[in-house]
Amino acid sequence: MKNKIKKYIREKIIAIYETRFATFFFKQKGFCPCCEQDTLFIARNSWLRDHFKCTNCGCIPRERALMKVIKEYYPNWETLAIHESSPGNRGHSKLLREKAQNYTETQFFGNTNLGDYVNGVRNEDLEQQTFDDAMFDIVVTSDVMEHIYNPEKAFSEIQRTLKSGGAHIFSVPIINKHKATQRWAKKGSDGEPVFLFEPEWHGNPIDSKGSPVTFHWGYDIKDIIKEYTADECEIIYIDDLNYGIRAEYIEIVVQKKNVK
Ligand SMILES: [Zn+2]
């Protein structure tokens, strides 16, 4: 009963907002892969990538796409060994943290020894990890790979920590599309970014300064990863409103470690 009243009030508020204030409004009923509920997805801004949210859990399209791909590739994901680098507090990260029985989260804190724990989160640099070989079935990153300085090291380190048959499943904005990948920044001698073009920063939950954008990836990311890992790689684009998945730049890349 309480939930029904809540739902009624929420729908009324949305209706008022829709008619009076919103200049853009898009809504869609569907099933959210992150909170695993029937829900209403709503956007009040035409930039769906950041604004088309699940009204139940607040997740955004690329997080739903990532979780959907994880579930499709590994239906038994709850029992698998999963490493997520730089997770957030909602969407797929929240579901993985709650339900995956063997889930390890890491952040790169910079000022602590690699492999140490800070408030239960392990300090790891994707480019030089302290994990043993073949520890994980799945490695997850979500909009992280556009901030790495040395992709060769990061992708091959991830590959090293994957079990055979495992995969790195990740979202990354492929903003260059069919144009070749461009390096956007390199690491200066003081550790700060030296931008080769207009400086670009993305929000970072553990650093108020944000994270510098170091690469503008194109679809050739597939070939680049293959060159570094010698394994196949796939790019998956989902446009499926039944799951609230519609937006620009929500390709999911699956970097496989083939069974040898
Ligand atoms: Zn949700």
pLDDT band for position 253 (cuts 50, 70, 90): very high
- Which residues are close to ligand 1, an ion, with C-beta < 5 A? 32, 34-35, 54, 56-57
CA 77–ligand 1 middle distance (angstroms)? 18
Between CA 108 and CA 141 the distance in angstroms is 13
CA 20–ligand 1 middle distance (angstroms)? 26
CA 11–ligand 1 middle distance (angstroms)? 16
Question: What pLDDT, on the 0 to 100 scale, is given for residue 94?
Answer: 98
105 to each of 56, 86, 162, 223, how far by Cα in Å?
Answer: 24, 7, 15, 28
Between CA 256 and CA 80 the distance in angstroms is 15
In this structure, what token pair is assigned to residue 132? Answer: 């043993």
Average pLDDT, the chain: 94
pLDDT tens-place string over residues 78-93: 999 999 999 999 999 9
pLDDT tens-place string over residues 163-193: 999 999 999 999 999 999 999 999 999 989 9
Between CA 251 and CA 146 the distance in angstroms is 13
Decide which of 233 and 259 is more confident: 233
Provide mean pLDDT across the span 64-72: 98
User: Which is nearest to 202 in space by CA: 219, 192, 214?
Assistant: 214
Asked whether residue 77 carries a pLDDT value surpassing 90, the answer given is yes
Class of the CATH domain delimited by 63-256: alpha beta
Quick one: 24 exposed, middle or buried, by C-beta within 10 A (0-12, 13-18, 19+)?
A: exposed
pLDDT tens-place string over residues 1-58: 677 788 788 878 877 766 666 678 999 999 999 999 999 999 999 999 999 999 999 9
CA 54–ligand 1 middle distance (angstroms)? 5
Domain map (residue ranges) of the chain:
2-60, 63-256
| Alpha-helix runs per DSSP H in the chain | 2-20, 48-51, 61-73, 91-99, 151-161, 221-229
CB atoms within 10 A of CB 36: 14
